[in-house]
Structure 1
């Protein structure tokens, strides 16, 4: 009699637990959890960067504004790299992740190079500033075309879907 009761309880539990939602289906999708972590980090560490305000009467003020802008951009890219690194490799392979980190690093290196060169350049008037900046025009246009790590990460179909499913990613450039 006791064995029948235990058997009946076990059978009832076996049927009731999955219906109650207590099975493994409640575990969050690791891809979505990873995407949420990335988007939370990007939101927390990214601020809007103002374009430089140039003063046509002062080449030195204009250069300072450009250097400030480049420094702010570099800081934002650094924050994105830190957020991405702290999230770790995604659970669906790391090719897109490694590409995103490599491109962030490359753009940051180029920004640093342009900033250092602009800092050292002899700028006495707007003409000399324009001449100095024109030597960096190819690199600077590359900065404008860079879309951040979103493009590389979304190249992975699984990550692209995870970013779409994650509420934390709404309104984030990922």
Structure 2
């Protein structure tokens, strides 16, 4: 993503585009913070943390940003919608994989699990609403694109506040230690120590 909203033709890209994509990257970052590689350990909590890391590895892979030349507002609108749809599918896949892993094997694990799923689903719902608003927008030019992105931006800002399941699970001291002991999570912000 460019650090400036100016494009080579001298036309100013709406500032809402940058904010929208930055918020999207926050959601992608939350998914990336959850990804780890495989590992097994004798400690049930570490095994569980490793399983969570394994189950979200593919979900956290890089998601390319819209690469429009920014000259065609309709084309850029379609690319941003495609990006947001892909992001929504990734959050859906993360939800499914978390349900497969189940609650962590600690006292209060069910509550931590439900909180993590609830936060994921809140982010997913906010993103879905923003995507739906953006899809419905009648974009014909730069001005209508800017208005559509502004309307979608609030829902996306809410979704971008999501920090990922590792953040939620680390609130439990026993799970925090489990994530710390899982070497595959050590280099990932939010998942390791």
Map 1:22-171 to 2 at 5 A.
28-92=42-106, 93-171=109-187
Q: 1:99 to 1:165 in 2, by over 3 A?
A: same
| Alignment TM-score, normalising by the size of structure 1 | 0.77
CA distance in 1, matches of 2:153, 2:161: 12
Q: Whose helix proportion is higher, 1 or 2?
A: 1
Describe the SS at the equivalent of 2:88: helix
Q: Displacement of 1:170 after TM fit? A: 3.8
CA distance in 2, matches of 1:142, 1:54: 25
The farther-off stretch of 156-165 and 42-51 is 42-51
Gapped runs of 5+ residues in structure 2?
1-40
Q: Displacement of 1:108 after TM fit? A: 1.3
CA contact (8 A) 1:40 1:168 kept: no
Number of residue pairs the alignment of both structures matches: 148
| Alignment TM-score, normalising by the size of structure 2 | 0.70
CA contact (8 A) 2:120 2:162 kept: no
Q: Displacement of 1:160 after TM fit? A: 0.9
Q: 1:117 to 1:138 in 2, by over 3 A?
A: closer
CA contact (8 A) 2:123 2:160 kept: no
Gapped runs of 5+ residues in structure 1?
1-26
Q: Displacement of 1:171 after TM fit? A: 4.1
Q: What is the alpha-carbon root mean square deviation over aligned residues?
A: 1.8
Deviations along 1:63-101, whole A, 9 cap, x unmatched? Answer: 111111101111221121122111111111222211111
CA distance in 1, matches of 2:77, 2:187: 33
CA contact (8 A) 2:134 2:151 kept: no
